[in-house]
Amino acid sequence: MNQEHTLEPGNTYAVQSGAYAGEMLIYIGKGQHSYSFLAVPTMLNRSVPCNSFDLARNSGILEFVEKVPDDVVQLSTVQYNENEKLNN
């Protein structure tokens, strides 16, 4: 299933299979070669290489769920940044 649409902060994807099955990934932003997500309910940062994300989305491993409200995007971004501070 091809779900070509523009990634925007707050886009949320359900992980359908693999090691992270059951997590929801809230898109935070893009790095040089990867996309940054906050995983829910674990509240852990996930960095996904761009090509891996595209493959997973197009093969149904990741399924678009919704774009969360702006206040959730803001809170998710704050949590992501706090996680980054703790990990550096």
Contact of 39 with 24, CB cutoff 8 Å: yes
The reported pLDDT for the residue numbered 5 is 62
Residue 3 included in any domain? no
Residue 24 CA neighbour count, 13 Å, CB half: 12
The reported pLDDT for the residue numbered 6 is 81
The reported pLDDT for the residue numbered 1 is 40
Q: Write out residues in the chain with pLDDT < 70, as ranges.
A: 1-5, 88
What three-state secondary structure class fits 74? Answer: helix
Residue 54 included in any domain? yes
The reported pLDDT for the residue numbered 56 is 95
The reported pLDDT for the residue numbered 2 is 43
Three-class DSSP labels, 19-71: CCCCCEEEEEEECCCEEEEEEECCCEEEEEEHHHHHHHHHHCCEEEEEECCHH
Residue 70 included in any domain? yes
CATH code of the domain covering residue 81: 2.30.30
- Structure pTM? 0.91
